[in-house]
A and B are shown apart, each in its own frame.
Chain A
Amino acid sequence: MKSLERISDVELNALVDGELIAERRAQVERWLADEPEAAARVESWRRQNDIIRAAFARVAQDPLPADIATLLGPRPAALRCVTSAIPPAEAPIRQSHRFGAIEAGRRQRMAGFTALAFLGGGLAVLAGASVLGTLGHSAGPTTIASSSSTRSPFAFSRRALEAQAALSTRDDLLLDLASSDMREISTFLSDRMGVAIALPDPGGAYRARGVRLIPGFSGLDGYVLLESATGSSAGILVGRAESAEMPAMQIREADGRRVAWFISGGVGYGVAGTLDRADLLTLAGRLSSAIRKP
């Protein structure tokens, strides 16, 4: 005996796609038992699904093409782990689920920073043991890790050069904050580093791409990536410094890269890149003037 109820095609599709709750599914299947035409249509759709799935199943089983495998390949261990330790840029620290220990406050946050610095140091030892200074990624950039023996201002400049060489050269670099707004970047860094940071717009041909957090001498440092219309690569390392002030701008050159750095209010600022000396001084001078402005 046929049911008076007519089941719509929408529901028949939902049946095929497993979208009906058990009770409704049973009702529809009972109805189909008396409706051979509709039942045949449903069965035809199911076979259609099987045919489509079978047609494209092979692609999902093929090995990944070389360019995709490279894109998703392992990164230098220190960088990979440090990035994993950073809460997502979109989520303020207090809202983080993953890093619940941070919510307890600054004291626990600092304990976390200490742990991170310790782990980062361990990775640096591991990285140093490998010939290229990296693990599992021979083409990868220089490993950046903190070390208690590298707290001098000179070491800060070296870190700025290393960060620039390692981070500014990667197109696929995972950023902790992607933004060109220096106010947003400053707020982000202030929150993460626990000190007030106020970076000015770089000006000239430069604009910010975003921030990558890295383990510093004392907590987290921020590396602000800059991009330039002229193609020269630059960035600003911002990190806690041991000495309170080093007002005079220092300049250092190594391997075709230059860094200009200074320390103000216990925070070191290092502008590094492949840019020429005049551009470097202009960029660093603008930074220095803005930061020292009363």
Chain B
Amino acid sequence: MRWGREAFEGCALGHRDDLAKLTPALRRFAGALIPRDAARGGDPGGGSAHDLVVKTLTAALRTGRQASFEQLRMWLYSTLVHLNHARLQAESQAVGATPSSRSQGVSQSLMELSTPDREALLLVVTEGFTYAQSAEILGISRATLVSRVARARAVLEQHLDAALPFGARRLLRHPSHLRLVK
């Protein structure tokens, strides 16, 4: 009878429930990752980021359960990254490399990063993955991951500084005990 009871526990905490829990963060990542949507303040309410999230979730529903919640989480990010690579490849073949669109603030600064550097930085900074997890998601070595994160920070240091409003810029340049809050 234990088997049957477990079936019902699985029913309450099923695959779809796990996906629903992970989707908000996945949308955040997609919105920050894709320049065109990042230009709208990272809101993946439409456009490529939204499409990628939907495709990733559809793939997850087709594939079924992963061994654990954390594995499912990593699988989702890995799938979204790969789908984004395929999208970029298709776009570059179709219309040539398009210059990133311009907007203000953090989104614009992130657009100055290469896609691999942006992926690495966002996985670590906004999504909270460890270096090891991020490297696994991206299919690269830990050393490469660290190098991408460091390069992204160096590039951002220049561009974020110019893109931010004066107060925030001052905070970035002259750190104090004050913390920037939203």
Interface residues of A, Cβ cutoff 8 Å to B: 9-10, 13-14, 17, 19, 40, 43-62, 64-65, 67-68, 71-75, 77, 80-85, 88-89, 97-99, 101-102, 108, 111-112, 115-116, 118-119, 171-176, 178
Contact = CB atoms under 8 A, between A and B. Distances in A.
Contacts of B7: 81-82, 84-85, 115-116, 119
A126 to B, nearest CB: 12
A236 to B, nearest CB: 20
A173 B63 CA distance: 10
Interface string B58-87: 100111110100000000000000000000
B61 A174 contact: yes
9 contacts: A43-B175, A48-B172, A59-B28, A59-B32, A61-B24, A99-B3, A111-B1, A112-B3, A178-B63
Interface string B166-181: 0010011101000111
Nearest to B171: A47
B15 to A, nearest CB: 7
A64 B11 CA distance: 22
Contact of B24 (A59, A99, A111): A59
B179 to A, nearest CB: 6
Given A54-B182, A80-B14, A119 B8 contact: yes
Contact of A51 (B11, B122, B124, B172): B172
A84 B14 contact: yes
A50 B181 CA distance: 8
B43 interface: yes
Range, interface on chain B: 35 or more
A7 B109 CA distance: 28
B42 interface: yes
Contacts of B125: 17, 49, 52-53
A111 B3 CA distance: 9
A48 B44 CA distance: 22
Contact of A71 (B1, B57, B153): B57
A51 B27 contact: no
Interface in B10-60: 10-11, 14-16, 19-20, 23-25, 27-28, 31-32, 41-45, 50, 53-54, 57-58
Nearest to B57: A71
B67 to A, nearest CB: 8
B106 interface: yes
Most-contacted residue by chain B among A9, A40, A84 (CB, 10 A) = A84
Nearest to B106: A55
Contacts of B58: 71, 171-172
A60 B25 contact: yes
Given A17-B131, A56-B126, A68-B54, A174 B4 contact: no
Given A10-B150, A81-B8, A178-B63, A44 B172 contact: yes
Given A44-B173, A59-B28, A80 B180 contact: no
A243 to B, nearest CB: 28
Interface string B120-160: 01101110001100000000000000110110010011001
Contact of B180 (A54, A88, A116): A54
B75 to A, nearest CB: 12
A13 B150 contact: yes
A19 B45 CA distance: 33
Contacts of B147: 10
Contacts of A44: 157, 172-173, 175
Given A14-B131, A17-B124, A65-B45, 20 more contacts: A14-B146, A45-B157, A47-B179, A54-B182, A55-B105, A56-B42, A56-B106, A57-B182, A60-B28, A64-B23, A68-B23, A71-B58, A72-B16, A72-B57, A80-B14, A81-B10, A99-B6, A101-B2, A112-B4, A172-B62
A59 B31 contact: yes
Nearest to A108: B3
A84 B7 CA distance: 6
A88 to B, nearest CB: 5
